[in-house]
A and B are shown apart, each in its own frame.
Chain A
């Protein structure tokens, strides 16, 4: 994330992992003023109850920019930590194992109640205007919602997205901020390794701080896929295609040398003729001027399809593999793998947006780079 956002080296960045990571990151951010990105890809075994009850999401929460009003203020945070054998996965295991939820629901329910009391007391609030509960244990979540007075909106969203793991608490907060009027309070609970409770006060109009589309609108934009395709995407069903060599994994030194390009999609604009060259190098692809360029970011720029092909030869977990030549608005041409394809495919002239995705995994290295997705998707 740090590299993709082209942040200065002096900005610290760290990973938190685990089901409580969303709540943990938020608690840390309150003390440090950090931005947090919470993302999770759930890995229940095929056929496990959680396969239907869980889902994937990514949410970012950031402190206000200079001079901007905040979307919300956090009035209090309270924790109720509990060592509980409820859900575990040893390193290398593909899927988690879950203890009988009827037992763990009681323990997590008590922790949620305790944390909620703590936060409300610390903020001096008796009855919050909104209550959202994030807990992978569905029984515990339902009970806490009833007990604390949720209006059911959090449960409704969860039925669309599933429980989204470490992203779920930030996801429910973002959704609550889409709905809450200025001055209204939100009690946001996370039940994982015990519980965390955050009491927030919305500071702007509903959704004013959300720089993306409303959470409910995003969650409601469903596209159905066949189950075998889902399994392929997840690497749970290996299919045989044309016999081709595995993609070579990226090497460390070149990946570091070209980090501005690889992670930030920063190309070179020629100071002599203005042409943008990709990948950036010493010489301009148009006039050949050497060492006469300035960096230009293509990361946030749309690009138009010049030509494309559907490649049936290269094996991919998400066939068909569509590769396009695109011209970037404002200059630059790239060869890109197209992702999030609509059923109708793409056409010459379509507008695509860069999206940072995994190209391949080999030798235990996930190779991330910038694909492109249709603008409307």
Chain B
């Protein structure tokens, strides 16, 4: 029994990502076609028919593999639809990696798509199986808002300091997104506008919440030894882990809402595979799941970028700004890039891919060699966690 991982065994050779927007004029079909076309175009000479198998992640914008094959009118190929809460896009990627690594296929594509703006509801919604009606309906902001007071209480952070920390996270991510044409919100937001925004849940204002957007993304994945057949600048998978929570945090006593144990476990496994022992000095940039500002704060500690209880000081000290020690969400994150659920995990990898290839333009993190994509779904106490470390170094 072991989790042997895929360190240095697979590579991303091409990617595509639509702008994340209120795409009033595009359907999920249109978005996924856009992402696939851009992804194919990123590997000149490769024809779509040469891609052996496909994965498509969507939380609720389609059912079955035909979510991908029908809009493309693609015949004769296997397509697997996956769903894993807000980590759905990452899950498509993860399973595609296994398929090439096993040797079953030579070239595969992972895609993710979500079309959220055709519903007129505020926030995210989901359709659940019929139930006994006893589950408390936690909205996402309600559930994640539990992190902020719990963190402040445990580490004796005052209300004003906590507010300043959360504001900095939103401010930073909007500032990064302002430089990104593909981001949903492309302008800087004044700190006062963030801290004074209309309250949604607990201490969280609307400007502490990520953007609800439409979008799609795609990645072409091959075995590491084949990578240079497709591109001169492949990005290698150095470590990858996934942990599905038991939900014990909200089903039994003990959990204190200041950490995501599932993320900690996934990060430890992925770092170990990648040989990362000091994340803060070794990782150049990390795309993390900033669904709400306190989530990003807690993740800084869960991912080993900050000591326990020190994350808020590091945030305020600019450690995670784009020119800081670890650039967190240089593309704007869920906060400003937007969060089309099934596409988000692949969007994170898209930024890692872009940065590691030195193609990020105005927001380029200099000298980036190793990056993290961290994606989670569910709620504090009951979540699923994906973690990948990707890098430029050629496998030995």
Report how far A262 CA is from B200 CA in the complex, Å.
29
Report if A285-B133 is in contact (Cβ < 8 Å); known contacts: A244-B123, A310-B202, A313-B201: no
A348 within 8 Å of B (CB atoms) = yes
**Which of B128, B201, B253 lies in contact with A309, CB distance below 8 A?**
B201
Cβ < 8 Å to B, chain A residues 355-370: 359-360, 367, 369
Q: Give every chain A residue within 8 A of B250 (Cβ-Cβ).
A: 325, 333, 335
Taking chain B's interface residues, is the majority helix, strand, or loop, or is none over half, making it mixed?
A: loop
Q: Closest A-chain residue to B141, C-beta based?
A: A313
A258-270 vs B, Cβ < 8 Å mask (1 yes, 0 no): 1001100000000
Cβ < 8 Å to B, chain A residues 228-276: 242-245, 247-251, 253-255, 257-258, 261-262, 275-276
Q: Give every chain A residue within 8 A of B252 (Cβ-Cβ).
A: 275-278, 284-286, 332-333
Contact B149 A333 (CB under 8 A): no
B1 within 8 Å of A (CB atoms) = no
Contact A333 B200 (CB under 8 A): no
Contact A313 B136 (CB under 8 A): no
Q: How many residues of A contact B (CB 8 A)?
A: 48
Q: Closest A-chain residue to B198, C-beta based?
A: A312
**Which of A248, A284, A360 lies in contact with B131, CB distance below 8 A?**
A248
A268-303 vs B, Cβ < 8 Å mask (1 yes, 0 no): 000000011111000011101000000000000000
Distance between A307 CB and nearest chain B CB, rounded to angstroms = 5
Distance between B200 CB and nearest chain A CB, rounded to angstroms = 6
Report if A348-B131 is in contact (Cβ < 8 Å); known contacts: A327-B253, A333-B253: no
Q: Give every chain A residue within 8 A of B146 (Cβ-Cβ).
A: 307-309, 325
- CB within 8 Å: A-B pair count: 124
Contact A307 B149 (CB under 8 A): yes
B139 within 8 Å of A (CB atoms) = yes
Distance between A220 CB and nearest chain B CB, rounded to angstroms = 33
Distance between A247 CB and nearest chain B CB, rounded to angstroms = 6
**Looking at B128, B138, B253, which has the most chain A CB atoms within 10 Å of its CB?**
B253
Q: Closest A-chain residue to B131, C-beta based?
A: A254
Q: Give every chain B residue within 8 A of A277 (Cβ-Cβ).
A: 251-252
B246-257 vs A, Cβ < 8 Å mask (1 yes, 0 no): 111011111011
Distance between B382 CB and nearest chain A CB, rounded to angstroms = 10
Report how far A223 CA is from B34 CA in the complex, Å.
59
Cβ < 8 Å to A, chain B residues 109-166: 120-123, 125, 128, 130-139, 141-143, 145-146, 149-150, 153
A-B contact pairs, 27 of them (CB 8 A): A244-B121, A248-B130, A248-B131, A251-B130, A251-B131, A251-B132, A251-B133, A254-B132, A255-B133, A257-B132, A275-B252, A277-B252, A285-B247, A285-B251, A286-B248, A286-B254, A307-B146, A307-B150, A313-B123, A313-B139, A313-B141, A314-B142, A325-B381, A333-B251, A333-B252, A335-B136, A360-B133
